[in-house]
Amino acid sequence: NAGVTQTPKFRILKIGQSMTLQCTQDMNHNYMYWYRQDPGMGLKLIYYSVGAGITDKGEVPNGYNVSRSTTEDFPLRLELAAPSQTSVYFCATRPLGESRWSYTFGSGTRLTVV
């Protein structure tokens, strides 16, 4: 049981390049989230999904896209990378139902755009 797996762990992108951050979970959790964490700051929600085929914008969605074709995978796509997207990206999941409310976080992807 791996939990929430994020790849890659580190990446350096040049301005204008694109990439996909991968997030895979094996816990059969319905809810999945992408957050970014800028240095010395809290986590800000980029996109989230309540189930396969359903995604919605969070607080800071500009410059990103997501898809959720399966329960397990929730990739985050960066198009035309900009220095402002330098951050640590965390994927998180949560099961359906009020009895288990806490998020399970992945280990993060540290992205630098130069």
Partner 1 sequence: GENVEQHPSTLSVQEGDSAVIKCTYSDSASNYFPWYKQELGKRPQLIIDIRSNVGEKKDQRIAVTLNKTAKHFSLHITETQPEDSAVYFCAASILTGGGNKLTFGTGTQLKVEL
Choose the stretch contacting partner 1; rule: CB under 8 A; options: 18-26, 60-68, 77-85, 97-105.
97-105
What gap in Å lies between CA 108 and CA 97, rounded to an integer? Answer: 25
Q: How far apart are the first and last CA of the chain?
A: 36
Choose the stretch contacting partner 1; rule: CB under 8 A; options: 20-28, 62-70, 78-86, 95-103.
95-103
90 contacts: CB under 8 Å, gap ≥ 6: 6, 34, 35, 36, 37, 43, 105, 106, 108
Query: Taking a C-beta distance cutoff of 8 angstroms, is the pair 91, 5 a contact?
Result: no
Q: Does 101 bind partner 1 (CB under 8 A)?
A: yes
Binding track, positions 17-46, relative to partner 1; x by CB under 8 A: --------------x-x-x----xxxxxx-
Q: Which of 29, 71, 90, 113 binds partner 1 (CB under 8 A)?
A: 90
What gap in Å lies between CA 86 and CA 64, rounded to an integer? Answer: 13
Residues in the site for partner 1, rule: CB under 8 A? 31, 33, 35, 40-45, 48-50, 56, 58-59, 90, 94, 98, 101-103, 105-108
